[in-house]
Amino acid sequence: MVLNQNAAGYSFTDFKFALRARWTTVVLLGAILLTAGSYLTVKKPISYRAVSNLAFAEDVQAIPVFRSSTDVRPMTIDVKKQARTELMSGVLFLKVADKYDLPERWQMRNRAATLERMRRQIEIVYDPKADLVQVIAHDDTDEGAAMLANAIAMEFVDQKKFEARLKAEERIRNLNFELESRREEVVSVEGEIASLRALENPPVEQIENLRRGLVQDAHLIRSLEAKHQLAVIEQREAAPAVSLLTKAVPEETALVSQRWYLPTMLGLLGVALGVIFIGLFAVRGTQLQIAANLKNTLDLHLIGFAPVVSYPLVRLKRIADKIVEPYRYLRESIRKLPAADSSFIQAISANSDSQLADVISNLCVVMAEAGSSVMLIDGNLRDPQLYKLFDAANHPGLSDYLTGEMRLEETVVKSRKNNLWFMPSGPPREDPSSLFSGKRMEDLVYDMKSRFDYLIMTCPSPLSFSETGIVAGIADHTIAVSSYQKHSEKTLSQIKQSLESSGGLLSGVILSQSIAVPIKKKPAQNRREKALA
């Protein structure tokens, strides 16, 4: 179990570590799109662009079409939009392909591949300013581009001519059918009149009505004959509503350059998509992933997070819950570590930005407030830091006791917090390792464990100084403190191996992170600290 550190303000750090942990995803997406862009650029060499222009008659801008026999509101079809659809039809393309033998010319395996290539190379555009439909063709040669554009345009015009001729012939057939029907009807009426006249008492009124109908039919037949003659003339001169205004000329084709920018743009797009993906989906699980990686890699009992504010908790009267809660989690985890009645815990620094002194001093404050007696010893004789946090002098201290210059009682300082005592490091010595390996060090540990529930000593990294390994050999547990932003599994693994070679045990890792929390203090004369906002 790992305490959620988001309340301590780790969101940006989580994103950075999520990005670091999944940088391969970002690189992979960028590489895939970069490769795709390069492939498209290579597969689409320098080509030529040819244009053929089609013009439409002004009286065919829109054609009314009734959607049903009972609908009196016709909808109109834009002829130019309809023409664009017809120009991109597979039927028209295949006619051109067969007519100009394009599969063999392009060395395509079948008609389907030829059709697919034509769809890639042909573009139909309507120019509203010039009121033209443009057939744009691309090809590797200027002659090929011009031929393809003209072939599509002329085949479309020929198709429209054929449709216009069929339409005229259909009108002639309809007129012929109606003429024949009217003439048959006239013959039938004349026969009926003749039969009525042959009667002894012919019905005069009925005969007169039939004769008036014959007159009307005669006029209608003459009208239909005139329309028929006109339709025959129109059929001979049938012209489509579209014409080829200008043909594409090879000398006037435009050169289309390679899209050199495409790989770069797609590569950057892939990187951006990867970063967005991590920001949206991967940040939330970063902490759990880090903890799981450390546990699986190092086989640790304790993994926790420690927020560090600009003011040490040992100087504060009251502490905000969002700051102290992670330390309470660490305190409970330390209690569960296997140990006797008293525990000697060594806290070491895993990197230069670990903030070891702040983290351990804050942890000792929380442990002491829970009722445990705690002795904190600064074992870093080379670069002591703890005395600054406790507002104490660095002398006398640990080095003075280990050399026999001072008694134990003279080196221990009572802190402002109940149950918390502190021992500074003392002045630096030439050979700290010899001091830690002496009998007085063993006596110190024995004496302190008999008096306190917890004896905690801070030491530098074992990868840099040998005395840390000596202390690890006599400590019950060693906890490494590392910066959350700069922690390295490789470094922590090396520290664990170094401690084990000295007879020590790396039991846990604490990841520290500085957060900005405003601290308000009362006037100096009150000498009291105010709680965190």
Residue 428 CA to residue 276 CA, distance in Å, equals 51
Query: What are residue 303's phi and psi, to 5 degrees?
Result: -140, 120
Residue 480 CA to residue 508 CA, distance in Å, equals 6
Please give the pLDDT value at position 462.
92
Average pLDDT over residues 355-374: 93
Average pLDDT over residues 409-438: 91
Q: Are 22 and 15 in contact (CB under 8 A)?
A: no
Residue 521 CA to residue 509 CA, distance in Å, equals 33
Residue 518 CA to residue 387 CA, distance in Å, equals 23
Please give the pLDDT value at position 528.
43
307: part of which helix (H) or strand (E)? strand 302-308
How far does CA 422 lie from the centroid of its chain? 52
Please give the pLDDT value at position 526.
44
Q: What is the pTM of this model?
A: 0.54
Which pLDDT band holds residue 7 (cuts at 50, 70, 90)? very low
In terms of CATH, what superfamily is 285-516?
P-loop containing nucleotide triphosphate hydrolases (3.40.50.300)
Average pLDDT over residues 395-413: 92
Most confident of 53-62, 149-158, 235-244: 149-158
Looking up tokens 């090879």 gives 250
Residue 93 CA to residue 156 CA, distance in Å, equals 10
Average pLDDT over residues 498-504: 91
Which pLDDT band holds residue 310 (cuts at 50, 70, 90)? confident
Which pLDDT band holds residue 347 (cuts at 50, 70, 90)? very high
pLDDT in tens, 35-91: 877 766 666 656 788 999 988 876 544 445 444 445 555 555 567 778 888 888 888
The yes-or-no verdict on residue 476 having pLDDT over 80 is yes
Most confident of 3-17, 256-270, 308-322, 357-371: 357-371
Percentage of the residues of the chain whose pLDDT score is greater than 90: 31
Please give the pLDDT value at position 312.
83
Residue 361 CA to residue 342 CA, distance in Å, equals 19
Q: Are 186 and 217 in contact (CB under 8 A)?
A: yes
Average pLDDT over residues 315-332: 84
Selected residue with higher pLDDT from 80 and 127: 127
Q: Where are the domains of the chain?
A: 45-256, 285-516
Please give the pLDDT value at position 419.
94
Query: What are the angstrom distances between the C-alpha of 238 and each of 53, 173, 416?
Result: 21, 15, 109
Average pLDDT over residues 502-529: 69
The yes-or-no verdict on residue 395 having pLDDT over 80 is yes
Please give the pLDDT value at position 521.
47
Selected residue with higher pLDDT from 17 and 300: 300
The yes-or-no verdict on residue 320 having pLDDT over 50 is yes
Average pLDDT over residues 185-199: 85
Mean pLDDT of the chain: 82
Lowest average pLDDT, out of 15-24, 168-177, 396-405, goes to: 15-24
For domain 45-256, give its CATH number from 3.40.50, 3.55.50, 2.60.120, 3.30.1890. 3.30.1890
Average pLDDT over residues 13-42: 72
Please give the pLDDT value at position 260.
60
Average pLDDT over residues 348-377: 93
Bridge partners of 306?
512
The yes-or-no verdict on residue 532 having pLDDT over 50 is no
Which pLDDT band holds residue 280 (cuts at 50, 70, 90)? low
Average pLDDT over residues 346-360: 92
Average pLDDT over residues 8-31: 67
Average pLDDT over residues 209-234: 85
Please give the pLDDT value at position 527.
44
The yes-or-no verdict on residue 481 having pLDDT over 80 is yes
How far does CA 420 lie from the centroid of its chain? 51
Please give the pLDDT value at position 531.
42
Helix ranges (DSSP H) in 336-438: 356-369, 386-389, 398-402, 408-411, 432-436
> Quick count: other Cβ atoms within 10 Å of Cβ 488?
13
Which pLDDT band holds residue 2 (cuts at 50, 70, 90)? very low
